[in-house]
Amino acid sequence: DIQMTQSPSSLSASVGDRVTITCRASQSISTYLNWFQQKPGKAPRLLIYAASSLQSGVPSRFRGSGSGTDFTLTISSLQPEDFATYYCQQSYSTLWTFGQGTKVEIK
């Protein structure tokens, strides 16, 4: 199975900060990489698909990049509603796998 490794596992940031989360795949997955946001008690929400495409309704401050094995999710200016846990997920294989998550907390 393809392993997905996110870093960091958690971070503290302030409103207005630029935040970057990285995700590494154990083998090349082209651009079949997706990012989700999850808030406590809620289902995950798709933010970015195919590494860099913004899902409908998602603010443009979210940006995804990368290909092959290394990917990045960037939040250009952190807003209060962005404090959540973020997961990467590969859909290259029919057997999906998720990263372990990155919790973004308020500094």
Partner 1 sequence: QVTLRESGPALVEPTQTLTLTCTFSGFSLSTSGMCVSWIRQPPGKALEWLARIDWDDDKYYSTSLKTRLTISKDTSKNQVVLTMTNMDPVDTATYYCARSIAARTSADYWGQGTLVTVSS
Block residue for tokens 């940031």:
13
Q: Which stretch binds partner 1 (CB under 8 A): 12-20, 32-40, 58-66, 67-75?
A: 32-40
Burial (CB < 10 A; 0-12, 13-18, 19+), residue 64, is: buried
Q: Which stretch binds partner 1 (CB under 8 A): 11-19, 20-28, 41-49, 63-71?
A: 41-49
Contact between 37 and partner 1 per CB under 8 A: no
Contact between 71 and partner 1 per CB under 8 A: no
Q: How far apart are CA 103 and CA 22, in angstroms?
A: 12
Exposure of 78 in the CB half-sphere (CA atoms within 13 A): 20
Binding site for partner 1 (CB under 8 A): 1, 32, 34, 36, 38, 42-46, 49-50, 55, 87, 89, 91-92, 94-101
